[in-house]
Amino acid sequence: MNETLNEIKKILNDANVDEANVKARIILREVGNLSVEDMLLQKEVQNKDEVLNFARKLAETKAPIQYLLGYANFMGEKFIVNSSTLIPRDETEILVNCALDKINKLKEKKQDTINILDIGTGSGCIACMIAKNAPEAEVLGVDVSSDALQVALENAQKLDLIKRVVYRKSDIFSAIRGSEKFDVVVSNPPYIKEEDYKNLDIEVREFEPKSALFAKDDGLEFYKKIIKNAAKYVNYDGYIAFECAKGQAGSICILLERNGFLVTDVIKDLAGIDRVVAARMILVSDEVDYTFV
């Protein structure tokens, strides 16, 4: 067994860091610059002091390892993250792939640019990965946080997507012009119930931005706000897609179908939780009755 790996594990275990074994290997890979093959061959790091100091910092702060590194891996890319942004989760890849599927369907119907709106863009990981994988798409990412938008802009620049991903400060649709219409709207909004705060892992509870996590009304607050006005901004036959928490998909489906959308997908994650809901716009905006939300 790699000697440095054992030392890292001891530092983390002595500090009662959750998932110490997993995090020790991440430190070896990311800070020690060891490949998976290097680790299987039990190669030693060349910068042992730096690696152990990083482990001690993690043990002391209990901060998310991604914040200490300054980046998070998502869909094969490294995204800059800090305390102004959520850390991208694997589940969000389902939302990106759902959006890409809808873009492919729209490509069959229209030849020009496909316009995407990412509400609550945060680090910009959703907006960037849609643009990276769909050259025909132009993406507008909006967020209420200026600090998050600065991070998102840096990520778009780093990935050379600045010509096809733009950002704007907006509280949901507040800065969207009436003439602007989108073919696909995606959102991973705050959806954790406020009463569930105490049940969250300390890394989430103490470090990630609360404004991007919690929502009132059993976690449905932002789905209701978005869906209430979405028909004004989604093109006929366009799509809207959400990431959601366990137990929320049914309520979101009802809200969508009461407001001019036909639910097309409810996609489960690897744990069997209904994680993404997608729907198609089937009514023009002046036909929608907004009294239901």
pLDDT band for position 281 (cuts 50, 70, 90): very high
Mean pLDDT lowest for which of 42-56, 86-100, 120-134? 42-56
- pLDDT for position 108: 86
Question: pLDDT tens for residues 197-231?
Answer: 778 888 888 898 888 898 999 999 999 999 999 99
Bridge partners, 263 (sequence order):
279
Average the pLDDT over 5-10 and give the result: 94
- pLDDT for position 286: 54
CA separation, residue 44 to residues 2, 32, 56, 175 (Å): 6, 9, 18, 52
Average the pLDDT over 234-263 and give the result: 96
CA distance 46 to 65: 21
pLDDT band for position 41 (cuts 50, 70, 90): confident
CA distance 126 to 241: 12
- Tokens matching residue 45: 């790091």
CA separation, residue 257 to residues 44, 119, 168, 207, 239 (Å): 57, 20, 29, 36, 13
- pLDDT for position 42: 83
- pLDDT for position 289: 53
Residue whose entry in the numeric block shows the structure tokens 């137990």:
247
Question: pLDDT tens for residues 45-67?
Answer: 899 999 999 999 999 999 999 99
Buried b / exposed e along 46-69 (16+ C-beta atoms within 10 A): eeeeebbebbeebbeeeebbbbeb
Average the pLDDT over 146-164 and give the result: 97
CA distance 102 to 226: 19
For the entire predicted model, the pTM comes to 0.92
Average the pLDDT over 153-168 and give the result: 97
CA distance 44 to 225: 53
The helix/strand/coil state of 267 is strand
Give the highest mean pLDDT range of 27-41, 142-156, 193-207.
Answer: 142-156
Q: What is the mean pLDDT of the chain?
A: 93
CA distance 95 to 242: 7
- pLDDT for position 290: 47
Contact present, 114 and 137 (Cβ < 8 Å): yes
Parallel, antiparallel, or unpaired: how do β-strands 234-243 and 274-281 relate? antiparallel
Provide the percentage of residues in the chain whose pLDDT is more than 90: 81
How many C-beta atoms surround the C-beta of residue 40 within 10 A? 9
pLDDT exceeds 70 at position 291: no
How many C-beta atoms surround the C-beta of residue 111 within 10 A? 7
Q: Pick the residue with more confidence: 200 or 168?
A: 168
